[in-house]
Chains A and B, each alone.
Chain A
Amino acid sequence: MELFELTIHELHERLKKREISSVEVTKDCLDRIAATEPQVNAYITVTRDAALSAAETADKRLAAGDADILTGIPVALKDIFLTKGIRSTCGSKILADFIPPYDATSWLRLKERGAVLVGKLNQDEFAMGSSNETSVFGPTRNPWNTDCIPGGSSGGSAAAVAARSAAATLGTDTGGSIRQPASHCGCVGLKPTYGRVSRYGVIAYASSLDQVGPLTRDVTDCAIMLGAVAGYDPLDSTSVDRPVPDYRAGLTGDVSGLKIGLPKEYYIEGLDPDVKRSLDAAIETYRGLGAEFVEISLPHTDYAVAAYYLIATAEASSNLARYEGVRFGHRTAEAGGLMEMMSKSRDEGFGQEVKRRIMLGTYALSSGYYDAYYLKAQKVRTLIMQDFLKAFETVDTILTPVAPTPAFKVGEKTSDPLQMYLSDIFTIPVNLAGTCGISVPAGLSGDGLPVGLQLIGKPFGEETILRAAHAFEQATTWHQRKAAL
Chain B
Amino acid sequence: MKITREEVEHVARLARLALTEEEKDTLTGQMDAILAYVDKLNELNTDGVVATSHAVPMENAFREDVVRPSIGIDNALANAPARVESFFRVPKVIE
Contacts and interface: CB of A to CB of B under 8 A. Distances in A.
A421 B20 CA distance: 25
Given A327-B88, A331-B81, A379 B51 contact: yes
B56 A459 contact: yes
Given A338-B90, A358-B17, A309 B11 contact: no
A234 interface: yes
B91 A335 contact: yes
A352 B41 CA distance: 26
A336 B19 CA distance: 16
Given A355-B17, A363-B11, A366-B14, A434 B56 contact: yes
Interface string A415-447: 001100100000000001111000000000000
A267 interface: no
A378 B52 contact: yes
A261 interface: no
A238 to B, nearest CB: 7
A307 B76 CA distance: 37
Interface of A: 97-99, 101-102, 193-195, 208-209, 234, 237-238, 240, 300, 302-303, 305-307, 309-310, 317, 321, 324-331, 335-344, 346-347, 350, 352, 355-356, 358-360, 362-363, 366, 373, 375-383, 385, 417-418, 421, 432-435, 459
Contact of B49 (A326, A330, A379, A418): A379
Contact of B79 (A305, A329, A360): A329
A341 B90 contact: yes
Given A340-B91, A341-B90, 16 more contacts: A208-B54, A306-B41, A326-B90, A328-B81, A337-B91, A343-B18, A346-B18, A347-B20, A355-B19, A356-B27, A359-B8, A359-B17, A379-B49, A379-B50, A382-B50, A459-B56
A100 to B, nearest CB: 8
B67 interface: no
A253 to B, nearest CB: 31
Given A360-B31, A381-B52, A433-B55, A344 B18 contact: yes
B35 to A, nearest CB: 8
Interface in B14-57: 14-20, 23, 26-27, 30-31, 33-35, 37-44, 46, 49-56
Nearest to A335: B91
Nearest to B40: A306
Contacts of B65: none
Contacts of A379: 46, 49-52
A99 B79 contact: yes
B61 to A, nearest CB: 4
A376 B14 contact: no
Closest A-B pairs by Cβ, 5 of them: A434-B55, A328-B79, A331-B81, A237-B61, A378-B51
B51 A382 contact: yes
Nearest to A306: B38
A376 B46 contact: yes
A325 B89 CA distance: 10
B54 A101 contact: no
Nearest to A315: B53
Nearest to B38: A306
Contacts of A344: 18
B58 interface: yes
B34 A325 contact: no
Contact of A378 (B3, B53, B61, B80): B53
A347 B91 contact: no
Contacts of A432: 55
Contacts of A358: 15, 17
B55 to A, nearest CB: 2
B31 A331 contact: no
B79 A240 contact: no
26 contacts: A194-B56, A208-B53, A237-B61, A303-B40, A303-B43, A306-B37, A306-B38, A307-B38, A331-B82, A336-B91, A337-B93, A341-B90, A346-B17, A347-B17, A347-B23, A355-B19, A359-B17, A363-B35, A379-B52, A380-B41, A381-B52, A382-B49, A382-B50, A417-B34, A434-B56, A459-B56
B75 to A, nearest CB: 4
A381 B54 CA distance: 10
Contacts of B52: 378-379, 381-382, 385
B76 A363 contact: no
Contacts of B78: 99, 101
A370 to B, nearest CB: 11
Contacts of B39: 306
